[in-house]
Amino acid sequence: MNVILLSPHDLIADNRACIKNPRQLEHIKHVHGAVLGDQLKLGLIDGNLGTGIITRFDDDAIYLDVDLQQPPPNALPLTLVLGLPRPKMMRRILQTIATLGVKQLHLINSYRVEKSYWQTPFLEPDYIRDQLILGLEQGCDTRLPEVHLHKRFKPFVEDELPAIVGETRALVAHPYTTEACPFQIDYSLTLAVGPEGGFIPYEIDLLEKCGFEAVHLGNRIMRVETAIPYLLGRLF
C-alpha cells in the first residue's frame, strides 16, 4: 500500500479525514508503524494526491489533517478490450491494469470463454472496485478505471466497438500474424487481447473488419496475466 486512498465519506471537513477501514487501519498501525504526528501519503479516490498528519489515534479510527493538492499521474492513452479471463485470474488482472494506468477496460465474451466464467462473483461491482483500489494503492494513483461487461461478442464488435475505437489506432494481439507489435508509441490506442487460447479466426476477421490490425509478441505464447503487462510495457 504505497498510498492510503480516502473515500469521500472519509472526509469530515475540507482538510480533515477520519479513516475507519479495518484493512487500512491494520496497514497504518502494523506496516507503517505510524504514531501520533506522523505524515502519511494520501489520495482521494477520483481526486488528488497529497499528505495527511495524524492528529488522533484511536483503536478503531485515525484522524488526520490532510492536504491534497497534487494531481494523480497521467492515464495511459489506452482502451483495453479483453476476453473474459478465468475467474482465478481476475484479481491479478484488475489490480495490474489499475496499477499501470489503464482507465477503460471492456471485458468481452469469446468462443474460448467458458459460459460459467460470467457467473463468477468476481464480476460483482464491489469485488471489481476492491481489486481496482488495491491496484491504485500500489501504483500511487487515485482515478478508478471504468470496467464494462459485454456478454455477446458479435453485437459488441459490430454495434459498440467502432464508437469505442473512434480515432484511435486499433490493435489485436494474435500470435499467428507476421506483423510485430509496435513499441514506444505516442498516440492513443485501442488494444484487444483474447482469452486463454486467443481469439478464433472468425473473431480475428470480425475485429479486422472493425479496423483492428493483428500483431504478434514474438515466438513465445504468454498467459493473459503475463501478456498484459508485457504489452503495456512495450507499447508505452
Q: State the CATH number of the domain containing residue 169.
A: 3.40.1280.10
Please say if the pLDDT value at position 14 is more than 90.
no
Q: What is the pLDDT confidence band of residue 228, given thresholds at 50, 70 and 90? A: very high
* Domain match, 217 and 122 both: yes
* Residues of the domain holding 60: 4-70
Looking at residue 177, its pLDDT comes to: 92
C-alpha cell at 104: 477503460
Contact 104, 145 (CB under 8 A): yes
* Domain match, 120 and 162 both: yes
Burial classification of residue 33, based on how many CB atoms lie within 10 Å of its CB (0-12 exposed, 13-18 middle, 19 or more buried): exposed
* Domain match, 34 and 120 both: no
Cell 473515500 locates to 7
Domain boundary among 48, 70, 92: 70
Looking at residue 214, its pLDDT comes to: 97
Please say if the pLDDT value at position 172 is more than 90.
yes
* Domain match, 62 and 45 both: yes
* Domain match, 42 and 113 both: no
* Domain match, 96 and 46 both: no
**Dist. CA 9–CA 31, nearest whole Å:** 24
Looking at residue 92, its pLDDT comes to: 95
Domain boundary among 17, 39, 70: 70
Looking at residue 83, its pLDDT comes to: 97
Please state, for a pLDDT cut of 70, what percent of the chain lies above it: 100
* Domain match, 109 and 161 both: yes
- Total number of domains in the chain: 2
Domain boundary among 21, 43, 70: 70
Averaged pLDDT, 224-231: 95
pLDDT in tens, 182-212: 999 999 999 999 999 999 999 999 999 999 9
* Domain match, 145 and 35 both: no
* Domain match, 43 and 127 both: no
Looking at residue 178, its pLDDT comes to: 92
CATH number at residue 44: 2.40.240.20
Looking at residue 227, its pLDDT comes to: 94
Q: What is the average pLDDT value for the chain, to the nearest integer?
A: 96
pLDDT in tens, 57-116: 998 999 999 999 999 999 999 999 999 999 999 999 999 999 999 999 999 999 999 999
Looking at residue 24, its pLDDT comes to: 96
**Dist. CA 112–CA 195, nearest whole Å:** 7
Contact 213, 172 (CB under 8 A): yes
Please state, for a pLDDT cut of 90, what percent of the chain lies above it: 95
Looking at residue 220, its pLDDT comes to: 87
* Domain match, 25 and 128 both: no
* Domain match, 61 and 91 both: no
* Domain match, 118 and 53 both: no
